[in-house]
Structure 1
Amino acid sequence: MSRTSLEQPAGPAAAKPGRMVRVALAFTGWAERWFPDAFVFAAAAVVITALAALAVGAPPAAVAKSFGDGFWSLIPFTMQMAMLAVGGYVVATSPLASRAIDQVARWPGNGRAAVGIIAAFSLSLSLVNWGISLMFSALLARAMARRRDLDMDYRAAGAASILGIGATWALGLSSSAAQIQANAGSLPKSIYNIGGVIPFEQTIFTWQSGLMAAILLVISIVIALYSAPGGRDAMTAEKMGIEIEEPEKKTIERPTTPSGWMEHNPAVIVFLVVLAGGWLVQEFATKNAILAISNLNTYNLLFLALGMLLHWRPRQFVDAVNKAVPATAGVLIQFPLYGAVAAIMTSAKSASGASVSDVIATWFVKIATVETFPVVMGIYSAVLGLFIPSGGGKWIIEAPYVLQAAVNLQSNLGWAVQAYNAAEALPALINPFWMLPALGIMGLKARDVVGFSFLQMIIHAPVVMFLLWLLGKTFEYTPPIFLP
């Protein structure tokens, strides 16, 4: 059977999309036609920033030098973010996780309940690791789609599986912006010199951030439940012409060569996990737990060690890593450009000493107050996120003038980071960039799910902006922390 699109429903039982869904589909069709690859947006950011630096009076030589100096400034962080994605995928595709997915798939009694469960897992897991959230939720949607008795709308299930990256991930442990600011070693000097180090206690571990995450989690699940078509109206994977095969059962063949024996012997895995475990125990024993987990190296080693342990054999672990690596391509090629943008914005200065960052910070100060700054910055960040779909890379671009404006206004620096985090996640609900790994697993296209995720976004946006303003009033200004 050929794949049936949303615009041409299959069979009399197919539901006609509502007005909001049709608007979202029209928007996505336009975006798919006119939006180039995310790399083009990153390159365009370099061009625009360079032209802006020239416009404020920076000499061409200074712009070129800043570009080269900044291009390689994010190499450690680029590797850390790539390993974050790999670790999440490896854990989510392990045999234990697969069995857990099969068990959870048995829970719901109807299609709407299935969509709600997928949404709950996506949102909750994203607070720990966005990679695990994306992979686990997509695999869970596939597993539930194999249950013919559920009548689960596969489009709504697909939209539910990506909710984590559009609502809560940036408020959790894998938040790129919070991780960057908490790690002096990951911070470009251009950002450190303005805002210093901002520990997790001032960002994701504040009660205000936790409350916002909880509110968004509840709202997202409720919307997912009540917007999912049920019964005969549900567009199942079968109606869409998407075949969901049973997962392949891998059998471990007895090795017949020395190399095969080494690849299937778990002794090496055990030895590596013991070494990693010993280091992790020392880290958590000698440091505050929050400080330890906020170190990306610690965080990534923890997940890689867990992935090794769950896959057990070197061959299975390496196969999982090989499948995860393509998902890191965008990070590897785009982050050097983001580092260059940040350097041009702060280092390329006019004869009077003004940089692009200074000019934008001044603009923020003019139009915002201490109370309205989180909202003004949040709206700006959300709009920019439509064109630069990268939480960490975009923070590198925004951080210089956002933190400078926060310092000038005497606004809380930690809440400035969280305002960025909460607003930056919103565009991921309609921007295909972060959806692609999950959509590939489910056999869906962006236009299949964006009608439901667009509905989430138009409800989330005013809620997020209101919370940024309301909760921001509870903070006081704290000066930047510069390490000795």
Structure 2
Amino acid sequence: MMRLITRFTDFLRRILPSPFTIAVLLTYLTFALALWLTPVKHPGEPHLFELAGFWAKGFWELLGFSMQMMLMLVLGYVLALTKPVNRLIQIMTNYADTMPKAAFLVTFLTLVFSFLNWGLGLIFGAVFARKVGEDFSKRKQAFNYPLIGAAGYAGLMVWHGGLSGSAPLKIAEKGHFLVDKIGVIPLNETIFSHMNLVVSLTLLIVLPLVMMWAAKKGEKQKIVLKELSEKAVDEHPENPTGADKLDYSRGFALFLGVVFLFTSVYLAVKAGNLGFINLNYINFSLFTLGILLTPNVAVFQDFVSKSIRAASGILIQFPLYAGIMGLMKYSGLFLVFTDAFVHISSPVLLPVNTLFSAGLVNFFVPSGGGQWAVQGPVIVEAAKHLGVSIPKVVMALAYGDEWTNMLQPFWALPLLGITGLKARDIVPYTFLLFLCGGVIFIAGLLLF
């Protein structure tokens, strides 16, 4: 088995381009499929020009989301540079003193954090993987860094079935866009259903064990990693002048952090439930912790400057994926894909076919909320027609979305930026997670 993984690893490293090039190739592929499978919507206009318009229209539709993701990466990186977080993670890395232990621990903790919130898990997994790699590097011990990086990405396999899952949270809201057809579906029928709890718990047990097994069999090498916690600017210069004193004042930074902290607690208490946890709240919390855990504003800004480079991939790739999303949405290519799976479905197979269709669409539009907005109406109509449980097909879509994250490098950009790895380095091991997850998801959908 390990020989096959090694051969597959070598093959992927030879053929896989960079994530940016993958996004460009997916753009070309989407254009070709839309030309072939979708009709002209505006007679008299060349189909290619019409599709180019759809792509351009979508190109700018994720600007707000892009900024949220860049902030998440930058602020998470800032936290990783602070002394308190370094000490905390170092305590955990002390238990990861061998490759099998490291693979198990990074995978397990990343899955737990990602079930609580996908953004938190993504940043934690990336930073923890980096720190574990640094620890092996300091000890001059051979290790499998790509496998550790893949372990830090494993959380994207459980997020949509977790507390921040886009589709389950959306249909639990009053007045959601399908409320007239399915009503409000509470979380106890989706995220906290018996099926999802069993599936999530199985992933939590099986995936760390699989990565631990792979760590025992995989190749290891000595790698020199520069510490993530780079030296900051002088925390307390001898003679700050004028307004510079505020930049280097601990009291000024502490007061600002306390204001942020009070606001974040107030928002949580005001919400009264877990609905307050969203991208903006996570970023606000990361900002709060960044201010509180750095000595002063000057050091905070220095850490931000050091972190911004890691977010460059998001800056230039999100617009490309937004263009793909626009092209699929406005041309109707989404519906073509989804209808093809629905037409070959039966009451038993519809959830499984929904899983596959969501997994396929995720390659082109890696956004859980975006997928639900487009695929939701189709799978809801199919489920009603075939008499299939609506919550079950919603979770099937969620599983498909998170399943192929293991092959789609889009969400790996923060991890790649922090760890310094390349997509082709981690994909062989995320492919192993993909295979295991597929078995678990399909079994769960068939058994419940």
| Deviation readout 1:406-464 (Å, 9 max, x if unpaired) | 45445444443432232223333344444344345444444444333322322221222
Matched AA of 2:323: L
What is residue 244 of structure 2 aligned with on the other side? 260
Structure (1 or 2) with the greater helix fraction: 2
Matched AA of 2:106: I
Q: CA deviation at 1:97?
A: 1.7
What is residue 114 of structure 2 aligned with on the other side? 126
CA distance in 2, matches of 1:120, 1:91: 21
Q: CA deviation at 1:42?
A: 4.6
Q: Is 1:25 the equivalent of 2:10?
A: yes
Q: Is 1:210 the equivalent of 2:197?
A: yes
CA distance in 1, matches of 2:28, 2:376: 18
Matched AA of 1:217: L
Q: CA deviation at 1:220?
A: 0.9
Q: Is 1:326 the equivalent of 2:307?
A: no
| Deviation readout 1:154-208 (Å, 9 max, x if unpaired) | 343233222223x2233334445556666789x8x7x788778766555434443
| Deviation readout 1:134-154 (Å, 9 max, x if unpaired) | 322222222332353765333
Matched AA of 1:20: I
Normalising to structure 2: TM-score of the pair? 0.79
Question: 1:87·1:131 contact (CA, 8 Å) conserved in 2?
Answer: no
Distance change (3 Å), C-alpha of 1:82 and 1:150: closer
Question: 2:30·2:328 contact (CA, 8 Å) conserved in 1?
Answer: no
Q: Is 1:37 the equivalent of 2:22?
A: yes
CA distance in 2, matches of 1:285, 1:204: 22
CA distance in 2, matches of 1:171, 1:235: 33
Q: 2:275 aligns with which of 261, 276, 291?
A: 291
Question: 1:178·1:204 contact (CA, 8 Å) conserved in 2?
Answer: yes
What is residue 145 of structure 1 aligned with on the other side? 136
Distance change (3 Å), C-alpha of 1:206 and 1:257: farther
Q: Is 1:110 the equivalent of 2:89?
A: no
What is residue 356 of structure 2 aligned with on the other side? 379
Distance change (3 Å), C-alpha of 1:331 and 1:373: farther
Matched AA of 2:21: P
Q: What's the C-alpha RMSD, in Å, of the aligned pairs?
A: 4.0
**Matched residues, percent identical?**
25
Alignment of 1:86-235 (within 5 A): 86-127=74-115, 128=117, 129-148=120-139, 151-165=142-156, 167-178=157-168, 200-229=187-216, 235=220
CA distance in 1, matches of 2:55, 2:181: 19
* Structure 1 unpaired stretches of 5+: 1-15, 346-354, 472-484
Matched AA of 2:402: A
CA distance in 1, matches of 2:419, 2:181: 43
Distance change (3 Å), C-alpha of 1:54 and 1:60: farther
CA distance in 2, matches of 1:51, 1:400: 24
Distance change (3 Å), C-alpha of 1:144 and 1:171: farther
Normalising to structure 1: TM-score of the pair? 0.74
Q: What SS does the aligned partner of 2:17 have?
A: helix
Q: CA deviation at 1:282?
A: 3.7
Q: CA deviation at 1:376?
A: 0.5
Distance change (3 Å), C-alpha of 1:125 and 1:366: same
What is residue 310 of structure 1 aligned with on the other side? 293
Q: CA deviation at 1:219?
A: 0.8
What is residue 3 of structure 1 aligned with on the other side? none
Distance change (3 Å), C-alpha of 1:146 and 1:459: same
Matched AA of 1:461: G
Q: What SS does the aligned partner of 2:216 have?
A: coil
Matched AA of 1:30: I
CA distance in 1, matches of 2:399, 2:382: 18
Question: 1:126·1:168 contact (CA, 8 Å) conserved in 2?
Answer: yes
* Structure 2 unpaired stretches of 5+: none
Distance change (3 Å), C-alpha of 1:414 and 1:311: farther
Question: 1:83·1:300 contact (CA, 8 Å) conserved in 2?
Answer: yes
Matched AA of 1:172: G
Distance change (3 Å), C-alpha of 1:109 and 1:85: closer
Distance change (3 Å), C-alpha of 1:381 and 1:119: same
Q: What SS does the aligned partner of 1:114 have?
A: helix
CA distance in 1, matches of 2:68, 2:420: 29
Matched AA of 2:128: S
Matched AA of 1:21: T
Distance change (3 Å), C-alpha of 1:387 and 1:468: same
Distance change (3 Å), C-alpha of 1:365 and 1:384: closer
What is residue 424 of structure 1 aligned with on the other side? 401
Q: CA deviation at 1:222?
A: 0.6
Question: 1:430·1:450 contact (CA, 8 Å) conserved in 2?
Answer: yes
The answer to which of 280-289 and 455-464 deviates more is 280-289
Alignment of 1:36-75 (within 5 A): 36-42=21-27, 44-45=29-30, 48-49=33-34, 52-54=37-39, 59=43
CA distance in 2, matches of 1:366, 1:269: 60
CA distance in 2, matches of 1:21, 1:464: 26
The answer to which of 66-75 and 297-306 deviates more is 66-75
